[in-house]
A = this chain, B = another copy of it.
Amino acid sequence: MCVRRCVITVGDLGEFGAVSRISGRLPQGATVLLGPGDDAAMVSAPDGRVVVSTDLLLEGRHFRRDWSSGYDVGRKAAAQNLADVAAMGAVPTSIVVGLGMPPDLPVEWLDALADGFREECAVVGASVVGGDIARSELVVIGVTALGDLGGRRPVTRSGARPGQVVAVAGRLGYAAAGLALLESGWAASEGMPLSRPQEALWEAVAAHRRPCPPYAAGPEAAELGAAAMLDVSDGLLQDLGHIAAASGVRVELDPAAFVVGEPVAAAAKELGADPLDWILGGGEDHALAAVFPAEVALPLSWRIVGDVVAGQGVVVRGRETGHAGWDHFA
């Protein structure tokens, strides 16, 4: 019995109550032939091939509930999987979500999480078609995304050749700058108009909470004839290292070619950091990095930042590069 304030929890709903509550917040799009409520969902795969990617997000490791809302976590969890599908040149059609939750998790948090999943999927026209819930100590989220190539050749990591150019689409360094701000204890004053520099810092923090991957640039790159592509989730240097290794080439980056976004510059000034460290080493913005034949005329969504040459590894011209990037067990 609650006298002053009732917080309804996941434990109050029970397993089937929670499933039905989540399902009620998730409309089903045109590619969904059978949505939640059965042993499995059924999704259209007009191409006759399906692209599939999975990721696991763990509370305390990939997100903190005091730093990110349920809505933020839902958007981020969906985004990082949808970006993997886009990075193959495919259009995401659907995701399924395995969700572990403590019984004392407020239902409000669960609702916000479901809304975050729904809204991020809506950006690309995908739907949450199914899932599974279980009880756990901390919040555990397993997301799997499916996508359709629409007849395009999938763009892998192994097609880069010397003489081609390296380009990126989307933001770099924003999420890393935001995380650094949060780790430094930075907090904007709530509910007041922010000064311009404060606003820029806030945008960096927001980018850590909700990445904004350039989804459309994935299929676009495939149409343009990209030779290799991936999404930047562990840091540009480390991720380009996968292309270099899989393709048997060397990647040389031009540090002057990168745009330092205002939020990244503002955070670097605030914390006395080098913005290029975040741009080259920060993950979680889920930018796309691709390699194109040099003769391809790239649209504005793509910016050339380097070259592919014979050799191995990734270097930044004029810069000493040590290890930069993320290893879950390092």
> Which residues of A pack against B, CB within 8 Å?
10-11, 13-16, 18, 33-34, 37-58, 61-62, 83-85, 87-88, 90, 94, 96-100, 103, 129-136, 140, 142, 144-147, 149, 154, 156-157, 229-231, 246, 327-330
**Are B56 and A132 neighbours in the complex by a CB distance under 8 Å?**
yes
Cross-chain contact A40 with B90 (CB below 8 angstroms): yes
Q: In the complex the two chains form, is B157's CB within 8 Å of A55's CB?
A: no
Complex A-B, nearest 7 residue pairs according to Cβ-Cβ distance, in ascending order: A142-B142, A56-B98, A40-B53, A45-B45, A144-B144, A54-B96, A39-B84
Given contacts A18-B329, A54-B142, A144-B144, contact A42 B100 (CB under 8 A): no
* Minimal beta-carbon separation of A28 from chain B (angstroms): 13
Chain B residue nearest to A54 in the complex (CB): B96
Contacts of A48 in B (CB 8 A): 44-46, 48
Q: Which residue of B lies closest to A9 (CB)?
A: B329
B61 touches A51 (CB 8 A): no
CB distance from A133 to the nearest CB of B (A): 6
A43–B16 Cα distance when bound, in Å, is 32
> Cβ of A53 and Cβ of B41 under 8 Å apart?
yes
Contact of A61 among B90, B135, B142 (CB under 8 A): B135
Q: Are A54 and B130 touching (Cβ within 8 A)?
A: yes
**Told that A43-B50, A52-B94, A61-B136 touch, could you supply 20 new A-B pairs with CB distance under 8 A?**
A18-B329, A38-B157, A39-B88, A39-B229, A39-B231, A40-B154, A42-B49, A42-B50, A42-B154, A48-B48, A50-B50, A54-B131, A56-B98, A56-B133, A57-B134, A58-B100, A58-B134, A98-B142, A98-B144, A133-B328
B329 and A40: CB pair below 8 A? no
B134–A15 touching, CB < 8 Å: no
Name the contact of A88 in the complex, choosing from B40, B90, B96 (C-beta under 8 A): B40
A285 to chain B, nearest CB (A): 15
How many angstroms from the CA of A54 to the CA of B61 in the assembled complex? 22
Residue of B nearest to A46 (CB): B48
Residues of B within 8 A of A99 (CB): 56
CB distance from A158 to the nearest CB of B (A): 8
Chain B's closest residue to A218 (CB) is B39
Q: Which of B51, B56, B157, B229 contacts A42 (CB 8 A)?
A: B51
Is the CB–CB distance between A55 and B98 below 8 Å?
yes
Smallest Cβ-Cβ distance to A103: which chain B residue: B329
Asked if A14 and B52 sit within 8 Å, CB to CB, the answer is no
A147 touches B56 (CB 8 A): no
A51 and B58 within 8 A (CB): no
Q: Is the CB of A329 within 8 A of B11?
A: yes
- Given the interface pairs A38-B230, A54-B96, A140-B56, the reply to whether A328 lies near B15 with Cβ below 8 Å is yes
- Determine the residue in chain B with the shortest Cβ distance to A101: B329
Q: How far is the CA of A33 from the CA of B16 in the complex (A)?
A: 37
- Interfacial chain B residues near A14, Cβ < 8 Å: 327, 329-330
A43's closest neighbor in chain B, by CB? B50
Q: Contact: A100 with B230, CB < 8 Å?
A: no
B328 near A39 with CB under 8 A, answer no
Given A58-B136, A96-B144, A129-B52, A15–B156 Cβ distance below 8 Å? no
